[in-house]
Structure 1
Amino acid sequence: MATEQNEQAQDLGQEQADQQTAQTQAETEQIAVSVEDLQTQIKNLEESLKLEKARTANAVYEAQKSVERIQRDAEKHKETVIEKFAKELLDSVDNLERAIQAAGDTESALLEGVQLTLKSLLHTLEKFGVVEVDMHNGFNADLHQAVGIAPDAKAGEIGTVLQKGYTLSNRLLRPAMVLVGQ
């Protein structure tokens, strides 16, 4: 009976060993499958990461370009507004110069006030880049508009200035209207 119990114990031990071996093999296969699955997942995640990095870089680039475009548009708008405002102020400059010419040679406090106002307005315009067009170096079609012929002026020279011209930041704001010699 002891031998029989011994054999049963050995058979039981053998069955347990076989079960453990089978279980170990199943776990090993599961681990192998799991490692392969994990490697596949890692590759997929790395590809997704590369794609997202590319999208992020593209979005950053587009944002920078948008900011630059908005800044350029804002600068152009600012220049346009300043140009319109300066053109409107030139009418006041012309009117003040006409008032001074109409006063003639008579000195008065009113005339002095108009002269100081004109001087202050011209100084303010100069601060913002509005400068009078040069009239001393002869006729220049880019800066002057010939509206007639001055009989007493030499050919290519400016005879009479009917209206002063101005530039804004080296761009023509208003051409000078002049009479030119033949």
Structure 2
Amino acid sequence: MATEQNQDAQDLGQEQAEQKTAESQAETEQAAVSVEDLQAQITQLEESLKLEKARTANAVYEAQKSVERIQRDAEKHKETVIEKFAKELLETVDNLERAIQAAGDIESPLLEGVQLTHKSLLSTLEKFNVVEVNMNNGFNADLHQAVGIAPDVKAGEIGTVLQKGYALSGRLLRPAMVLVGQ
């Protein structure tokens, strides 16, 4: 009986040792699998990080391009508004010049006030790059609009200026209306 008990105890001890060995083998396999899984997961995360970096760089590039486009559009809009405003002011310049011509040689405080207003308006237009079109170099179809013939003037020369022309920042705002020689 004692031998049977010893045998049973040995068998039990051996079973426990086998269980421990099996458990440690399972833990080792799990650890090996876990390391491989972790390495795969790290690789996957690195690829995701590269993708997100590329997306972020693309988003930053698109944002910069959008800002540049908005600035260009704002500048174009500003130029268009200034151009429209300047065209409207040119009618006032023309009216002031007609008033000065109508007064003739008679000096009066009223004429002096009109002349000062005219000068001030031209000065303001020049601040915004609105300048008179050059009339000294003869007729230029890009800058002048021929509306008639001046018989006493040489061919290609400007005779009478009916309405002055103006340019805004180098672009023609309004052509000069002139009579030219034939």
Matched with 1:89 is 89
Greater Cα offset, 1-10 or 150-159? 1-10
How far has the Cα of 1:153 moved from its partner?
Answer: 0.9
CA RMSD of aligned residues (A): 1.6
Q: Report what 2:68 is aligned to.
A: 68
How far apart are residue 118 of structure 1 and its match? 0.2
Q: Are residues 1:168 and 2:172 paired? A: no
* Superimposed CA distance per residue, residues 3-51 of structure 1 (whole angstroms, 9 cap, x where no aligned partner): 7666555444433322221111000111111122222222222222222
Name the counterpart of 1:110. 110
> Quick one: distance in 2 between partners of 1:10 and 1:169?
107
Identical positions, percent: 88
Give TM-score, length-normalised by structure 1.
0.93
- Where structure 1 has 5 or more consecutive residues not aligned to the other structure, the ranges are none
Residue 27 of structure 1 aligns to a residue whose secondary structure is helix
Q: Which shifted more, 119-128 or 60-69?
A: 60-69
Q: What's 1:135 paired with?
A: 135
Q: What is the TM-score of this pair, normalised by structure 2?
A: 0.93
Aligned to 1:49: 49
1:110 partner letter: L
Letter of the structure 2 residue corresponding to residue 146 of structure 1 = A
Per mean C-alpha deviation after superposition, the further-off stretch among 9-18 and 42-51 is 9-18
1-structure distance, mates of 2:63, 2:97 = 50
Q: State the number of aligned residues.
A: 182
C-alpha distance in 1 between matches for 2:157 and 2:167? 20
Counterpart-to-counterpart distance in 2, 1:168 and 1:32: 78
